[in-house]
Amino acid sequence: MRKLIAGNWKMNGLASSLAEIEALKGTTGTAACDIVVCPPFTLIEKASVRSNGSNIAIGAQDCHAHISGAYTGDVSAEMVADVGARFVIIGHSERRVLHLETDTTVASKVTTAHKAGLTAIICVGETRSERDEGRAVEIIDGQLRGSIPAGASSSNIAIAYEPVWAIGTGLIPTLEQIEEIHASIRRMLEERLGEDGREVRILYGGSVKASNAADILRVANVNGALVGGASLKAADFAEIILAAS
Residue 101: φ, ψ to 5°: -75, 130
Let me know if 92 is a catalytic residue: yes
Let me know if 99 is a catalytic residue: no
107, 146 in Cβ contact below 8 A? yes
Catalytic choice (92, 94, 130, 182): 92
With a CB cutoff of 8 Å and minimum separation 6, the contacts of 145 are 103, 188, 192
**Residue 188's closest CA among 217, 150, 159, 220?**
159
Helix (H) or strand (E) holding 124: strand 119-124
Catalytic choice (20, 78, 94, 162): 162
126, 139 in Cβ contact below 8 A? yes
> Which residues does the annotation mark as catalytic?
92, 162
